[in-house]
Amino acid sequence: MQKIAIVAYSQSQCVPQAGASNEVELIMPRLQEVYEQAGIRNAQDVDFVCSGSCDYLQGAAFAFVSGVDALGAVPPIKESHVEMDAAWALYESILKIRMGQAESALIYGFGKSSPGELPIVLSQQLDPYYLAPLWVDTVSLAAMQARLMLESGVISESDMAAVVARSRSNALNNPKAQLAAQVSVEELLREEEFVAPLRKHDCCPVSDGASAMIICTAEKAMEWGKPYALISGIDHRIETHNLGMRDLTDSPSTRTAALGAGADSGPIDVAELYAPFSHQEIILSRALGLGDETQINPSGGVLAGNLMMASGLSRIGEVFNRIISGDATRGIAHATSGPCLQHNLVAVIEGAA
Amino acid sequence: MSEQQDMITDIKTPVYLQYNFTAGKSPARFLSQIKQGILTGQRCPSCQNVYCPPRGSCAACGVATEEEVVLSGKATVQSFTIVAIPIPGNPIKPPFVIANLVADGANISFIHLMSDCVNEEVHMGQRVEPVWKPQEEWGYAMDNIKYFKPLDEPDMTIEDIGKLALNAEKV
Amino acid sequence: MTSNSAVLAAVVGIGQTKYQTKRGDVSIAGLVREAAVNALQDADLTFDDIDAVVIGKAPDMFEGVVMPECYLTDALGCNGKPMFRVHTAGSVGGSTALVAASHVQSGTFKRVLTVTYEKQSESNAMWALSSPQPFSVHLNAGAGGYFAPIIREYMRRSNAPYDAGIKVAVKDRLHGARNPLAHLHLPDITMKEVEESMMLWDPIRFLEACPSSDGACAMVIVSEDVAEDAPKPPAWIRGCAMRSEPTMYAGREEVSPQAGRDCAADVYKQAGVTDPRKDFDCAEVYVPFSWYEPMWLENLGFAPEGEGWKLTMEGATSLDEGGDIPWNCSGGVLSSNPIGASGMIRFAEAARQVRGDAGGHQVDGAKLALGHAYGGGAQFFSMWVVGAEKA
């Protein structure tokens, strides 16, 4: 498959409440930043634009339409939208480039989750006849998953706390993070349970913000003369919605997607995993077969700040940043959607050499 | 096995979700002014067009609208419809006129109600002015203006609607 | 600027449900599965043959299920495969077909199933569309309230006779009467009946507006090599285009949006269409309010500006009057409107025509057809051209 270049990436600060800013106001600064990085003027200078968002975060139908107001889409542009994380908007953009309808694309994702109660809002993602009427929120479902892991002896509470401690400490080097600290496993384990067996720190925070990326063909990246990294593979897979039919302690869809993306064809220096709960990071790194040679979530991951609908794209952006800075030569990024890691996307990103 | 049952064609599962809506920085400035009884627009620094109401950006240029412009409230009918369909929960009794109005000094229309008029006589290019609610009822809302009513002024040429602001600047 | 290196793709299976006000006999999953199974049977394939599923619908709030692809994966046989969800407002049915096609045209997959649906009876669309925003008045006037002033402006500019919209309303319902899947079956409808129907949003009368329907539409899109072995004639995808512009901006042309004109020019160029009225045998175009037929005839270049209504009045777009360029032979959106699926129905019906598989509303010998969808404030466009031949 054709390799696709990432030339620019920007993410807003993760904040619990973006206050007065509306979606357009959250998006515009990110777009300006990626335009500058790529050395282009605006969205008119790319061949395709695709975004990811969810109407239910802000509670208004067609919420994404206002996103178009940030683009300067006059004259009209080739543009599309997925009601998914923007990592899937990236996927659509890659298809457009592979089929030759575009050489470059702008991707953005945005979410202002603070107006509503995100875990409750997401309960309405469940089967509308059997599950949604029960209002089972995402935290409770994840807690059941964590309990399965603990009871079956796959992990211990210390393992979960270790994930959090590493996230908090890594986030100290991430100026965009919402939660960063130097904290020990012992300290974390002394905290009270929140939705047992999860403690509050096992759950990602809710953040407002946006992220944006520009991709193009390798030829175009060389023409633009900017540093770039290459997406050498991308794949995504979904599993049954019926939680009772899944082995919740594993993520076979992540494993299949990683194989589809060619993750196994070389060493993995860095992995950015979209794990909204600490135990899920362990599920994912086991499914991906990651070992000591791989640095996991150097940004702190989404436990340090979760821009719903943009976090998946941000994981890809974070790996891009590590490769551009020379900290890594090959990495994988992961995005997820649905309850208990139902739907997973894996991208493999390598240096341009 | 149970006896044959009637087909279930309905279950009721009400969804209640609460949101604290935020309008955005730019609309918030607009709403603060309208709470004082002042209609404002915001100018695009790039194409100079004035947006009323502002939504945060000039959608054509994709840049934030910063400069605030105070508008008189007088406006012109760009187009309109007479709504005859009763909508549940709508306090306004049909038939009523809703119009795309372009405020003097702005370059884009907004939708509002027209009243104190003969519905059949409403026409494009017609000049109108706002009728405000009593001051004590003013909130952070566009419906501080109850409706627009006809103004005794000559019609505007249709081609000139929305171009007042730019023309004024050229003079 | 860009080289078209796309793999040739074709539609080899089409499945639809019956469109009606309320499908109380099936769940949402049952509805989408019905269309999907019909499409697979039409292609003589099974769920196991499918590499990926692409799903589309209008706002989640219409049924109250957030990101419903998570819940629908089981019904669509997608477990373990890629599942993709598109949402581009009213044009979503069209753009979902385009995204599905790009899964094949990019060389990534061989066989893709795509499904769009709306089950409007399960929620309150009027509520979903009217969450109040403080910078606009709460008029609750519905979509007609938005489009009626634009139609009025078209009537002013074009000097069209007052009954051009009435004529479309009759014509599309007569077409719909030939289509057993259509929601409205009004074989005896008359101009007088439409004219006397209630004025909802002046100048839009009740019978000049689309119904609200439950329904789903599905297609199987495959690569060239697979299509060549298909049991029934494929509809070859000859061009795909999307365009977007903002809802509101100063100086926006709302009657004949630039995005629609650009999108048409793009898709015609890909398909080698220079004179749409002559080159196409028929078109399926998103006309939710009758007046949008003359408006889109002009926007899409089938008629010069200001003269779209002439084609309508002459019967050029009517199957029953033997017109040279029949529009919406299936009955169009005016006869069936499951919102999220409405665009894909246009795309699928265009494909049925060139496959020679459109039953009672078949245009004899149709070789090339246009599928069209639009959404938002007539700002999002998606179109495709399908043909009986590869080129």
Residue B160 carries which DSSP code? Answer: G
Q: By residue range, what is the domain housing residue A154?
A: 118-195+232-351
pLDDT digits (tens, 9 = 90+) for A273-297: 999 999 999 999 999 999 999 999 9
| Closest alpha carbon to B20 in A19, C13, C8, C203 | A19
Per-residue pLDDT averaged across A161-172, rounded? 98
Q: What is the pTM of this model?
A: 0.96
Q: Are residues A181 and A247 in the same domain?
A: yes
* CA separation for the pair C142, B31 (Å, rounded): 24
Nearest Cβ partner for A20 among B15, B28, B64: B28
For residues A307 and A347, state if they share a domain.
Answer: yes
> CA nearest B18 in A: which residue?
A116
Give the number of domains in chain A.
2
CA-to-CA separations, C49 to C8, C35, C221, in angstroms, rounded = 19, 17, 12
Residues A139 and A10 in one domain: no
In a domain, B7, yes or no: no
Up-side HSE of residue A235: CA atoms within 13 Å toward CB? 21
Q: Is residue B139 part of a domain?
A: yes
Neighbours of chain A (3+ CB pairs under 8 A): B, C
Q: B110 in a domain, yes or no?
A: yes
Band (pLDDT 50/70/90 cuts) for residue C139 is low
Do residues C91 and C339 make contact, with C-beta atoms less than 8 angstroms apart?
no
| Whether C140 and B98 lie within 8 Å, measured CB to CB | no
Question: ω into residue C203 within 30 of 0, thus cis?
Answer: yes
CATH of the domain at A236: 3.40.47.10
**A108/A242 same-domain check:** no
Percent of chain C past pLDDT 90, that is, above it, reads 87
Tell whether A138 and A17 lie within a shared domain. Answer: no
pLDDT given for residue B166 in this prediction = 44
Cα A6 to chain centroid distance, Å, stands at 16
Residue A83 with chain C: CB contacts under 8 Å: 60, 67, 85-87
Note the pLDDT of residue C198.
Answer: 95
> What rounded mean pLDDT belongs to chain B?
88
Q: Is residue B9 a part of any domain in this protein? A: no
Contacts of A91 in chain C (CB under 8 A): 84
The SS3 assignment for A118 reads helix
Q: Is residue A21 part of a domain?
A: yes
Q: Crossing angle for the helix pair C142-158 and C292-299, nearest 10 degrees? A: 60
**Is A166 contained in some domain?**
yes
Q: Name the closest residue on chain B to residue A68, using Cα atoms.
A: B59
**Which one-letter amino acid corresponds to residue A192?**
E
Q: Can you read off the two tokens belonging to residue A63? A: 């919420």
Å from B71 to nearest chain C CA? 16
Low-confidence ranges of chain B (pLDDT < 50): 166-171
Same domain? A61 vs A76 = yes
ipTM over 0.95: yes
* Phi-psi map region of C117: left, alpha, beta (phi>0 left; psi -120 to 50 alpha): beta
CA-based nearest residue in chain A for residue C52:
A237
In a domain, A130, yes or no: yes
Q: Are residues A131 and A88 in the same domain?
A: no
Q: Name the amino acid, one letter, at A33.
A: E
Cβ pair C76, C32 in contact under 8 A: yes
- Give the best residue of A47, A98, A141 to mutate against chain C (max C CB count within 10 A): A98
Residue contact B13–A72, C-beta within 8 A: no
- If asked whether residues A19 and A133 sit together in one domain, one would say no
Q: Is residue B122 part of a domain?
A: yes
Alpha carbon A353 to its chain's center: 26
- CA distances A2 to A216, A230, A263, Å, are 11, 10, 15
* Residue A201 is assigned to a structural domain of this protein: no
- pLDDT tens digits along B37-76: 999 999 999 999 999 999 889 999 999 998 999 999 999 9
Instruction: Give pLDDT tens digits for A227-275.
Output: 999 999 999 999 999 999 999 999 999 999 999 999 999 999 999 999 9
User: Which residues pair with residue C220 across a beta bridge?
Assistant: C13, C113
pLDDT of A27 > 80? The answer is yes
A153 and A27 co-located in one domain = no
What's the rounded mean pLDDT across residues A80-103? 97
In a domain, B45, yes or no: yes
A323 has pLDDT over 70: yes
Region A41-63: mean pLDDT is 92
Instruction: Please answer whether residues C273 and C192 qualify as being in contact, where contact means their C-beta atoms are separated by less than 8 angstroms.
Output: no
Segments forming the whole domain that contains residue B40: 25-169
**Does one domain contain both A213 and A310?**
no
DSSP string, A186-231: HHHHTSPEEETTEEGGGBPPPBEEEEEEEEEEHHHHHHHT---EEE
Is B51 a member of any domain? yes
Residues near A249 by beta carbon (within 8 Å), at least 6 away in sequence? A145, A148, A149, A152, A154, A283
Q: Residue B93: what pLDDT?
A: 82
Q: Model confidence at A5, in pLDDT bands (50, 70, 90)?
A: very high
The verdict on A262 and A162 lying in the same domain is yes
Mean pLDDT of chain C: 94
Domain count, chain B: 1
Q: Which of B10, B15, B30, B58 to mutate to test the interface with A (most CBs of A within 10 A)?
A: B15
Pick the closest to residue A239 from A344, A149, A156 (CA basis). Answer: A344
**pLDDT score, position C126:** 62
Per-residue pLDDT band at C343 (split at 50, 70, 90): very high
Instruction: Please report which helix (H) or strand (E) contains residue A96, including its range.
Output: helix A86-98
Q: Is the dihedral of CA A22, A28, A29, A34 positive or negative?
A: positive
Within-domain flag for B17: no
- Same domain for A150 and A111: no
Contact list in B for residue C136 (CB cut-off 8 A) is: 53, 110-111, 142
Query: For A24, which of B15, B55, B60 is closest by C-beta distance?
Result: B55
